Each structure stands twice: as C-alpha cells, then as structure tokens.
Structure 1
Amino acid sequence: MKRVFGAKKDKEPPPSVQDTSDRITKRGDNVEEKIKKLDAELAKYKEQIKRTRPGPAQEAVKARAMRVLKQRRMYEGQRDMLYNQTFNLDQVAFAAEGIKDAQQTMSALKSANKDLKGMMKTVNIQDVDSLQDEMMDLMDVSSEIQESLGRSYNLPDDIDEDELLGELDALEADMGFETEGGVPSYLQPDKESDLEGELNFPSAPTGHAPVPPGRVNMQAEDELGLPAVPGPSLRN
C-alpha cells in the first residue's frame, strides 16, 4: 500500500512566535550592516567630490554616489519593514504570555478556592460563638475567684464610713496642733540643745599657754603652729 499511495509525511510543527521574531531580527541586523557599509562609501565619494574640479571626473563620482544612495534607501525600506514585523511579533508574544499568565492565575485561584472550601467545612460559626461565650464565662468565674481570694480577714463588717471619716478628721487636727508655725514638731529644735546654748561652756584649750601682757613670745612657730626647730649655726 505504501508503494502505491506513498507514505504519509509527518508535518513539521509551525514555527513559534519567538523563533520567527529572532529570525526576522537577524535579517534586519544584516541589512543594517549593509547600510553602514554604504554610508562609509558615500562619505568617501563626498570627499572625492570636494577634491575634484567641476568636469567629467566630478560628474562620474556624483553618478557613483547617486547609485550608492539609491541602494541605501532601498535597504532602509527593507530594514524598516523587517523591524515593523518584529514589533508586531513582539506584541503577539506579549499578548500570548499575558494569556498564559491569566490561565495560571485562574488555575491557582481555583485550587485555592477548593482548599478554602474544604477548610471552611471544618469550621462552624456557631461553634466559634459558643467557644467565645464559654471563654467569657470562664473569665468571669476567674475574676470572682481572684476577688474572693483577695479578701482580708478579721475585719468587722459593721464599720460605719462616717465614723471613719470623723476619726480621719480628728487625726488631721492632732497633726496640725503638733506643728508650730507650719513646722512639724520633729523638725523643731531640741530643748536640750537650747539648754546647752544657754550654759555657754568655755571652749577647749588649744595646747599653747597664753602670753602674759608685756612679754614677747620669743619661740617661733612653723606653718602648722608647732615650735620651730632651730637650724644649724653658721658660726665656727
């Protein structure tokens, strides 16, 4: 059968957008290189035209320059066309990448939605409310226990607050009576210190006998008030 009808050839996969864009960009770069060579040739012809006198020689150089300039414009048109194709392919590639990203995003959202629904089935809002109410009740019981443990012992229950306020006023009055002139009694001078001031005892002796009037004290003293030691005599 294969000899009669021939074998079916496998179709090659179509080129991708990126491969086509790279190939066209490479062609555009080759055309750009040709344009640069023509620019260098045109610059050489411009110098020859400047150095050549008007006449047949100059006209021949101008004709060559015109031919090169026509080729340059043709290559520029090809380059612009190739670059436009590359730009269009880049736009298509960008749109395709955006669609792929959208597909991946949708797949991730679907998976997350499925997982979230599965987790929500394990949580009941009524159970959460009941747990919160139970926790509040436990906190109230804990506060009552702490308050009960913080009570003081051996205190009479029939204490009158007015009576306590009266005792407080009387205590403040006693404290004000003990102060004289706004100074508390514990800051006032002691009576024993006043008595010592009234007795006016003489001061303690300093260790030097007083010099009688009319007599000169011939004994010298040093800086500390002690008798000075006489130095060696200079006489032989």
Structure 2
Amino acid sequence: MKRVFGAKKDKEPPPSVQDASDRITKRGDNVEEKIKKLDAELARYKEQIKKTRPGPAQEAVKARAMRVLKQKRMYEGQRDMLYNQTFNLDQVSFAAEGIKDAQQTMSALKSANKDLKGMMKTVKIDDIDSLQDEMMDLMDVSSEIQESLGRSYNLPDDIDEDELLGELDALEADMGFESEGGMPSYLQPDKESDLDGELSFPSAPTGHAPMPAGRANMQAEDELGLPAVPGPSLRN
C-alpha cells in the first residue's frame, strides 16, 4: 500500500521565534559585508576621480561610482528592513518569555495557595485561644506552688500592728536610743563615777638631772641616741 499511495510525510514543526530571528540576523550580516565591499570600491573610485583630469575618462569613473553607489543604497535598504524584522521578532520573543514567566508565577502561587489551605486546616484560632488560656492557668498554678513552697514556718499569722509598734518602742528604750544631745545613753559617761580619779597619772617632773659641761646645750639622749624621756619623780 505504501508503494501505491505513498507514505504520509510528517510535517516539520514551525520554526521558533528565536530560529527566525537568528536566520534574519545572519542575512543582515551578509548584506552588511556587501555594503562594506561597496564602500571600499567607492573609496577607490573617489581617488581615481581626484587623479584623473576632467574629460571622458573622469566621466567614465564617475559613472561606475554612481552604479556602485546605487547598489550600496539598495543593500542598505535591505539591511535596514532585515534589522527591523529582527527587532520585531525580538519584541515578540520578549513578550512570549514574559507570558511564560507569568504562567510559572501563577503555577507557583496556586501551589503555595494549596499548601497554605492545607496548613490552615491544622491551625485554628479557637485552638490557639484555648491553648493560651490553658497556659495562663498553668502559670497561675505554678505561682501558687512557688508561694506555697516559699512560706515560713512557726510564724503567727495574725500579728497586731499596734502591739508590734509597742515592742519596737520598748526595744528602742532598752538600747538607749533616747539620749541627751543625740548621743545614746550607753555611750555617755556616768556622772556619779569619778573617772578622772581612776584615770589619773603622776604629774611630770619639773627638775632636770645634772648634765656634763660639754653637753650643757644639748638635750639628754638614751642609749639608742634618741631624746630621753624624763622619768617620774618619787615623792615620799
């Protein structure tokens, strides 16, 4: 059957925007090379026109230069047209890439939205409020436990404030805080005791022992060379 009717040929996929852009850019580069060759030829004709005297020879060179110049203008028009097509294809490619990016963004957002909905099902506001209330109750119970463990033993619970103030006044009186001149009583001297008599010392002697003639103007010294302290005089 294939020999009679022939096999169906598979259609080639259409070229992509990038393939078309590359092909047109390559054509534009070829045209650009032709324009450069024509520029070099025009420069050579220009030098010949300068060196040739006016006459039939110069006119022939000018005619060839005009023909080359027309070809150059034609190629320049083709080049500009190809570059405009390349620019349009680049704009289409940019728009297509933008749409692809938008599709990927939408797919990512849909996936994230689905995940968030699944997580929201496991987290409820009522459960959070209930958990917060339970935590507050536990903190209150913990505070009560700490207070119970830190209480003191063998202390009366009902203490009269007036009675406590009276005991403090009595303690202040016993320690002698009420005194004359702002000094406690236990630091004041006893008026009835004769401390001067108990703390009296013998009076210092008024006489001096005889000194040698050579040392009449010098103070007496002890065996260490220090000034000697006069001793107390004995009185009967």
Please confirm whether the aligned pair reaches a TM-score higher than 0.5, indicating the same fold.
yes
1:129 Cα deviation (Å)? 1.6
Task: Write the distance in 2 (CA, Å) between the matches of 1:234 and 1:180.
Answer: 43
Change (3 A) 1:204 1:25: farther
Change (3 A) 1:176 1:226: closer
Change (3 A) 1:132 1:49: same
Tell me the alpha carbon deviations over residues 104-125 of structure 1, each in whole angstroms, 9 at most, x when there is no partner. Answer: 2222222222222222222333
Q: What TM-score does the superposition give when structure 2 sets the normalisation length?
A: 0.66
CA contact (8 A) 1:211 1:217 kept: no
2:16 is the alignment partner of 1:16: yes
Change (3 A) 1:207 1:20: farther
Change (3 A) 1:166 1:50: farther
Gaps of 5+ in 2: none
CA contact (8 A) 2:17 2:93 kept: yes
CA contact (8 A) 2:42 2:69 kept: yes
1:222 Cα deviation (Å)? 24
2:228 counterpart SS class: coil
1:139 Cα deviation (Å)? 1.3
1:49 Cα deviation (Å)? 2.2
1:29 counterpart SS class: helix
Q: Equivalent residues in 2 for 1:129-140 (5 A)?
A: 129-140=129-140
Q: Which residue of 1 aligns with 2:109?
A: 109
Q: Which residue of 2 aligns with 1:39?
A: 39
Change (3 A) 1:185 1:173: closer
Task: Write the distance in 2 (CA, Å) between the matches of 1:70 and 1:41.
Answer: 13
1:231 counterpart SS class: coil
1:100 Cα deviation (Å)? 1.6
1:231 Cα deviation (Å)? 44
Q: What TM-score does the superposition give when structure 1 sets the normalisation length?
A: 0.66
Task: Write the distance in 1 (CA, Å) between the matches of 2:83 and 2:23.
Answer: 11
Change (3 A) 1:162 1:105: farther
2:194 counterpart SS class: helix
1:137 Cα deviation (Å)? 0.9
Larger-gyration structure (1/2):
2
1:133 Cα deviation (Å)? 0.9
Gaps of 5+ in 1: none
CA contact (8 A) 2:32 2:79 kept: yes
1:173 Cα deviation (Å)? 12
CA contact (8 A) 1:31 1:78 kept: yes
Equivalent pairs, count: 236
Change (3 A) 1:221 1:125: same
**Greater shift in the superposed pair: 62-71 or 120-129:** 120-129
Percentage identity across paired residues of the two chains: 94
Q: Which residue of 2 aligns with 1:193?
A: 193
Change (3 A) 1:169 1:62: farther
Tell me the alpha carbon deviations over residues 77-100 of structure 1, each in whole angstroms, 9 at most, x when there is no partner. Answer: 101111111111111111211222
1:75 Cα deviation (Å)? 0.7
Task: Write the distance in 1 (CA, Å) between the matches of 2:192 and 2:55.
Answer: 141
Task: Write the distance in 2 (CA, Å) between the matches of 1:77 and 1:140.
Answer: 89
